[in-house]
Amino acid sequence: MTRFKLQVEYDGGPFVGWQRQDTGLGVQQVVEEAITAFSGETVRVHCAGRTDAGVHARGQVAHFDLVRDDITVKTVRDAINYHTKPHPVAILQAEVVDENFHARFSAVEREYLYVILNRRARAALSHGRVWWVPGPLDAAAMHDAAQVLIGKHDFTTFRAAVCQAQSPIKTLDELSVTRFGDEIHVKARARSFLHHQVRNLVGTLSAVGFGRWTKADLKRALEARDRSAGGQTAPPDGLYLMRVGYDEHATGAKPFVSEDVGAEDE
C-alpha cells in the first residue's frame, strides 16, 4: 500500500464544500472519482481542512492510499488533473508519504486568507472570490483591534453553533489586516480553527472597520464567550485555505523531485 499526499487548489463556488454530501457535489467526490477512474481502486480521500460551501483553496492538503504499487506521483498528479475536468479542481503537487501521515491529524498549522473588496462598485472580475463591502473600512483600525485576539483563548464567541470541536479553546498565532488598493486581506494562522471561526472573526472585525466597534468592544466580545456577543458571519466567497503546515520529520514525507515536473516545483 502506498500513501499519497496531495496539494489541491479549487474554486469553492460550484461545490457544497469539501465533504461528500447528498445535497450536491463535494470536492472530495470529484477527487475520489478521478482516482478511481485511473487506478481502478475505490478510495477515501482525507483532507486537512473541511472547507464549507463556497470556500476556496489554494493549498488544501489531502491524502489517500492505493494498493497498486505501479503508479508514480507524476501519474497521480497528472491523471487526477485529467479526470477532474471540467471541474475547477487542480492537483498542484503529489508526494509519497509515510503511512503514519494523516492530512488532518498530522497538520500543525493552517493558514487562511480572507479577501474583502472595499469599494462602491460591486465586483466584476472578482465576483464570487471576495466579500464586497461598499462602505469604507479602516483596515489599520481592524488590524490594531485584531491583536487582542492573538494567543490562547476560549473562542466560543466566534464559533458556529454546529461546531463539533471538543473544546472552544484555540491558539491564534496571527491575525493581520492589510489594505492593497481596494482590497483588504485578512490573514489568519493557527494550529487549527473552530467551525466558521475565520468568517466570524472577519465579520466582527468589519464592525471595527466601520467605526461601530472599538478594540475594547472586541475584547469584551471575546471574553463574553457567547456567539451572540460577536458580529456577523462573513460570506464564504472571500475565504481561501492557503497553506497547511506539517512537521516534516514526524510525517516522513518524501518530496518528489524530477526534472520534468514543470514550473510549479520551482
Q: How far is the CB of 121 from its own copies (least distance, A)?
A: 4
Cα-based angle 122, 128, 133 (whole degrees, multiple of 5): 40
Residue with cell 462602505: 135
Choice between 121 and 161, CB closer to its own copies:
121
- Please return the burial class of 194, using the count of CB atoms within 10 Å of its CB with bins 0-12, 13-18 and 19+: buried
If binding is defined by CB under 8 A, does position 154 make contact with its own copies?
no
52 is catalytic: yes
Query: Does 120 contact its own copies by CB under 8 A?
Result: yes
Applying the rule CB under 8 A, the residues between 44 and 73 that interact with its own copies are: 56, 58
CB 30 within 8 A of CB 90: no
Residue of the chain from 31, 130, 137, 141 that contacts its own copies (CB under 8 A): 137
DSSP 8-state class, residue 156: G
| Gap between the Cα atoms of 45 and 90, Å rounded | 15
C-alpha cell at 178: 492589510
Residue 24 or 262: the one with the smaller Cβ distance to its own copies is 262
> How many beta carbons lie within 10 A of that of residue 91, not counting itself?
21
Between vectors from CA 212 to CA 117 and to CA 55, what angle results, nearest 5°?
35
**Residues 170, 194: Cα–Cα separation, whole Å:** 8
Q: What angle do CA 120, 122, 125 make, to 5 degrees?
A: 130
The yes or no reply on residue 119 touching its own copies (CB under 8 A) is yes
Task: For its own copies, give the closer residue by CB, 86 or 249.
Answer: 86
Catalytic residue among 52, 65, 70, 98: 52
Residue choice 46, 83, 104, 129 for contact with its own copies (CB under 8 A): 129
220 lines the binding site for its own copies (CB under 8 A): no
Q: Does 92 bind its own copies (CB under 8 A)?
A: yes
Site size with its own copies, rule: CB under 8 A: 34
**Should residue 255 be labelled a site residue for its own copies when binding is judged by CB under 8 A?**
no
Task: Using CB under 8 A, list all residues that contact its own copies.
Answer: 9-11, 56, 58, 77-78, 81, 85, 88-92, 118-125, 127, 129, 134-137, 182, 261-264, 266
Residues involved in catalysis: 52
